[in-house]
Chain A
Amino acid sequence: MNNPQQPIPHNETERLAALRRYNILDTLPEDAFDDATRLVSYICGVPIAHISFIDENRQWFKSEIGIGVSELPREITFCRYTIMESEMLEIPDTHSNEIFKDDPNVTDGFKVRFYAGVPLTTPDGYNIGTICAVDHVTKKLDESQRNALNIVAKHVINQLELRTKNNELNAQKKIAERAVLAKDSFLANMSHEIRTPLNAVIGFTDLLAQTKLDIIQRDYIDSVQIAGENLLLIVNDILDLSKIESGNLAIEDQPFDLKKTLKHIYDLLKVKVPENVEFNLFLDADMPEIVVGDQGRLNQILVNLTGNALKFTQEGDVTVSVKKMEETDEHYLLRFSVKDTGIGIQEAKLKTIFDRFTQAEESTTRRFGGTGLGLNIVKQLVELHNSEIKVKSREGRGSEFFFTLAYKKASDIEIVPESFTGSNLGKLKILLCEDNVLNQKLVKSVIYNFGFELDIAEHGEAGIELLSKNEYDLILMDLQMPVKDGYQTTQYIRDEMKLTIPIIAMTAHSLVGEQELCYNMGMDAYVPKPFKQAALLETIKTVLNKDHKPAPKRKIDFSLIEEMACGNADFTKEMVHLFTEKIPIEIVLLNEAYKTNNSDTVRKLAHNMKSSFDIFLLADLSDCVSVIEEEAKNGSFTVKTREKMSILNCEIIEVVKVLKEL
């Protein structure tokens, strides 16, 4: 080297900072850069070309042809000179250049004879790297080659900028997605909290409407009722949506009367039909009456779609039709359609109408009201049925929403004949277990309205006492109460008192699994709060009408034990046997230890039982013992353990029974 002093740009510190900002060093090859390198090689007709970046002590190649290494020490590169320049550095013949003629890259190594390098200059003016053409023979670039090389250099910098912006956008996107998630869970919690007092508002308004009122008062009450119902619809929409999103919404499999459901929807919406609109319900002649599926969700889907159709149609007709598409031994495939001659949807909006908070027209919310959640919920509900909703529409001509659902056929036993009418229920004596005074008052008024008698117990213990003294026809049971909750009380009534009196659970939770738990505990029916008077009466009729329906049987998942058994059925059987032998003994020991407050033994037993439950994928039981183990570890048991113990006791009997029947 003639010049032992290494060239360093005057703005080296800022230059390095600029380079770091792009996060480009030591990244994987990218097509955009490789293409640019190839382009340089073609344009200049050289065997060696590269795009490189220079940090404190090395030249790192983002892309290269004919070099074969990923980096070189900075002090032996040509490009350390190029980044000192503001324009292209071109050396037609290194042998006649004073600085480079003795350079090791010229005398041996790469045998560089020709070099042309353009600095890669950032928009704020820092040379962070180079794009170069190199050859083993002498060469001179013509004007258009030089221009082209400069243009490619600009493109490389643009590519870098784009890349950085993309990374930033991705990071922002992640933040936004997290925020949406947080918002959803906040909404779910809020909606739930709002529903409880709203329940009371609607219930008491209902009652107030049934008292003697003058015309003005009647008008006010009507307004309050409508407002309350609308508010409840919105809150329910939000709650539904968050439940769907969190995967907490399950599609039920219960037999129901399809024709009746559709007629009910028709009757419900008939009142909303505008004057010049004809509202039709067309049912296929050979459409089945009873199917197995989720009545409530079908109701929700159709009410939503039909409600929309009626809202957006001023003239013409709105038609709900159901057609049987296919019938197999086990299933019906039905096509549901809601068609209108309303305002229609612009073609451009068709794709987004199912998105949240989107309505076909910006002004829709102002003109027609609504949350903008309805169609999104409908779409997701249809998808939960493993189907897809489709829409056809012409602006100004009308729309059709349609989807097909597969329903299981009902076996004959499942169809419960309805022989009861409201009038012959007589004077029922009902016991309510409920701690909330407001709810007590509400239920009391409703039950009196039905013409029944009601006794109130403010917790399970008091309920049991009343039950042992008096005769009742039916119990309404809140789930969360002090002293003895709804589950424990039910368990006591069924197991200790050996009573088969119908019990209806009432709860504001309406979460997946809760309903099942109620049935498993021996309750007969389930009314979610806020309850409608008609729904409560219907449920009371149903439970009094039928014999005790056996609780839905638990299904046990053998996939894990079968995986471990590697297909050996005998081994699986042996493990099932071991489980049914040892778990009943362990639960007895666990109960004993819990009663004597021996937390150390409880902890050890719970821990050991957890592994047994896990093998048969009994997640609910495994969770129970986890909670119990955790509390035992802390040395003191709260109501949580008590609750889990009672679930455990109940469920183990069921599980062992199912396993033994195999």
Chain B
Amino acid sequence: MLCNSYCFKTNTYAMRIILSEDNDILRKSLSFFLESKGFTVDQFSDGKDALDAIEATSYDLILTDINMPGKSGMEITQYVRQTIGSDIPIIIFTSSGVEQTELDSFDMGANEFMAKPVSPAVLLVRINKLLKTRA
């Protein structure tokens, strides 16, 4: 398995991920999936709430949709990089097939960009890769 060294089930400290996505089925499914893989997941459906949580809490990774009420994933990324000045790994996913969106995401400082529908297995690999690079 790819995630051998990064399956945290047995660890006392689980990696903490913040997930902001306004579609509740997708959000709950992704949370369930990631929690099953040993992560702690805080989920938000509103971008503004997510950003407040990011400021108040120390997360290991941000997972965000672009189109959301409150604040968009782009705004969250911009705020984290420019205002907070944090280099926490950020994965942006969106159903927009527009190339510019992907370019903008990386411009803003996102570490990964994934087109929806997101494959859980691929998401897991990317998360592990980002966390591993940082570790």
Contact = CB atoms under 8 A, between A and B. Distances in A.
B24 interface: yes
A615 B95 contact: no
Interface stretch (A212-220, A357-365, A465-473, A571-579): A571-579
Interface string A604-634: 1001101110110100001000100000000
B33 A615 contact: no
B92 interface: no
A560 interface: yes
Nearest to A583: B25
Contacts of A568: 32, 36
A660 to B, nearest CB: 16
Interface residues of B, number: 19
A611 B121 contact: no
Contacts of A574: 28
Contact of A578 (B24, B33, B36): B24
Interface in A66-105: none
B25 A578 contact: yes
15 contacts: A561-B29, A564-B29, A564-B30, A568-B36, A571-B32, A578-B25, A578-B28, A582-B24, A607-B95, A608-B22, A610-B95, A612-B23, A614-B26, A615-B29, A615-B117
A448 B32 CA distance: 64
B71 to A, nearest CB: 15
B77 to A, nearest CB: 19
Contacts of A564: 29-30, 32-33, 120
Contact of A607 (B24, B29, B67): B67
B116 interface: yes
A277 to B, nearest CB: 58
A182 interface: no
B117 A614 contact: yes
A580 to B, nearest CB: 11
Contacts of B116: 610-611, 614
A612 B24 CA distance: 8
A384 B79 CA distance: 53
Interface string A634-661: 0000000000000000000000000000
Contacts of B28: 574-575, 578
Contacts of B37: 566
A574 B29 CA distance: 10
Nearest to A626: B95
Residue with the greatest number of chain B CB neighbours at <10 A, chosen from A564, A571, A607, A614: A564
A248 B25 CA distance: 32
A565 interface: yes
A568 B28 CA distance: 13
Interface of A: 560-561, 563-566, 568, 571, 574-575, 578-579, 582, 604, 607-608, 610-612, 614-615, 617, 622, 626
A615 B26 contact: yes
| Secondary structure dominating the interface of A | helix
A154 to B, nearest CB: 49
A615 B25 CA distance: 8
A156 B8 CA distance: 54
Interface in B85-130: 95, 116-117, 120-121
Contacts of A626: 95
A424 B21 CA distance: 63
Contacts of B22: 608
Contacts of B117: 560, 611, 614-615, 617, 622
A563 B25 contact: no
Given A565-B32, A608-B22, A614-B116, 20 more contacts: A560-B120, A563-B121, A564-B29, A564-B32, A564-B33, A565-B33, A566-B33, A566-B37, A568-B36, A575-B28, A578-B25, A582-B24, A608-B23, A611-B25, A611-B95, A612-B26, A614-B95, A615-B29, A617-B117, A626-B95
A576 to B, nearest CB: 9
A656 to B, nearest CB: 14
Contact of A612 (B25, B33, B36): B25
Contacts of A612: 23, 25-26
A578 B116 CA distance: 20
Interface string B7-46: 0000000000000011111101110110011000000000
A482 to B, nearest CB: 31
Return the 4 tightest CB-CB contacts between A and B, nearest first.
Answer: A611-B23, A614-B117, A566-B36, A564-B33
Given A563-B120, A563-B121, A611 B26 contact: yes
A614 B95 CA distance: 10
B70 to A, nearest CB: 13
Contacts of A604: 67
A119 B32 CA distance: 66
Contacts of A611: 21, 23, 25-26, 95, 116-117
Contacts of A563: 33, 120-121
Nearest to B67: A607
A612 B25 CA distance: 6
A571 B30 CA distance: 12
A623 to B, nearest CB: 12
Contacts of A566: 32-33, 36-37
A250 to B, nearest CB: 23
A565 B36 CA distance: 8
Given A611-B23, A611-B116, A615-B117, A575 B29 contact: yes
A565 B29 CA distance: 7
B25 A579 contact: yes
Contacts of A560: 117, 120
Nearest to A612: B25
A578 to B, nearest CB: 5
A252 B90 CA distance: 46
Nearest to B117: A614
A336 to B, nearest CB: 41
Interface in B67-86: 67
A557 to B, nearest CB: 12
A494 B36 CA distance: 46
Contacts of A575: 25, 28-29
Contacts of A615: 25-26, 29, 117
A119 B112 CA distance: 50
A565 B24 CA distance: 15
A563 B124 CA distance: 12
A88 B61 CA distance: 63
A612 B37 CA distance: 22
B2 to A, nearest CB: 15
Residue with the greatest number of chain A CB neighbours at <10 A, chosen from B23, B30, B37, B116: B23
A120 B58 CA distance: 62
A611 B22 CA distance: 9
A604 B66 CA distance: 12
